[in-house]
Amino acid sequence: MIKIQQLSKKFKVENPKKLSEQDKKDPRLTGRFFHSVKDVSLKCDKGQVLGLLGPNGAGKTTTLRMLSTALTPDSGSILIDDVDVLKTPVLARKKIGFLSGSTGLYGRLTGRENIQYFGRLNGMSEAAISAKIDEIAEQLDMHSFLDRRSENFSTGMKQKTSIARAVVHSPEVVILDEPTTGLDIMSAKTVIDFIKDLKSKGTPVIFSTHHLDEVSELCDHITVIDYGLTSFDGDLAAFTALSPNNLHEAFMRTLHRSDV
């Protein structure tokens, strides 16, 4: 179970004059601080997939980075089962598998070597790492490129390797930041099937996406963030009910802005 309550995070703006006109109009800008996340709460139980939605710049990635321990919130709480993420981040980190859109692979290493490295960082034995890599490579259809240097990988190959790297240690919760962005149809389907498999094993999964068809196929619960605030938090049925047969319109009805 993952539970976050009233998270907030602000960043200092070094030179407000260099901000774009759109950024200057953002209500989260206060003096020399930009309040990327103002008040976000959500909960994801075992065996659930939570879809995190919101316009670009709404605060989704900042929220996920706080959940993953990459950023420390200014206020709020994060629990993974009975573990307080803010008080014991090292312990919490062992329970988390995190795919960030901004973390690249080590180009001179093969796909296998990238995954092995993260397995070792998580204290796994070589035998356990090898067995897990074989399992994940089968699930994500990676055998054809697993032993090639990752600097020459396609977008799909890189994303699959990054996902494998994030889950090699069999984490208790999985956090994916736009896992299918830039993938072709076949690669995206493989990733979606992998998320379904995590769900079937009882692993809570939180993933951000702009693809509403993925939401309808995968998600039990939906959280929408707009201007750093939770603007919707409910199950898929409640989200769909906002505009039956039109998820795009349902999403638009959760927002409180005039510029989208």
pLDDT exceeds cutoff 70 at 35 = yes
pLDDT value of position 68:
93
Number of Cβ within 10 Å of residue 235's Cβ equals 13
How many Å apart are CA 2 and CA 144, to the nearest integer? 35
Give residue-wise pLDDT tens across range 150-171.
Answer: 999 999 999 999 999 999 999 9
Q: What is the pTM (predicted TM-score) of this model?
A: 0.90
pLDDT value of position 49:
97
pLDDT exceeds cutoff 80 at 17 = no
156 within 8 A of 184, measured Cβ to Cβ:
yes
Give residue-wise pLDDT tens across range 204-250.
Answer: 999 999 999 999 999 999 999 999 999 999 999 999 999 998 999 99
How many Å apart are CA 165 and CA 115, to the nearest integer? 5
pLDDT value of position 257:
56
Q: What are phi and psi of 58, to 5 degrees?
A: -75, -25
Q: Is the dihedral of CA 45, 50, 54, 60 positive or negative?
A: positive
Domains and CATH numbers, the chain: 2-253 (3.40.50.300)
Give residue-wise pLDDT tens across range 66-103.
Answer: 999 999 999 999 999 989 999 999 999 999 999 987 66
Dihedral Cα 41, 46, 48, 52, nearest 10 deg: 30
Dihedral Cα 182, 113, 149, 168, nearest 10 deg: -20
Mean pLDDT score, 8-12? 96
pLDDT value of position 15:
82
pLDDT exceeds cutoff 50 at 50 = yes
| DSSP secondary structure letter of residue 16 | G
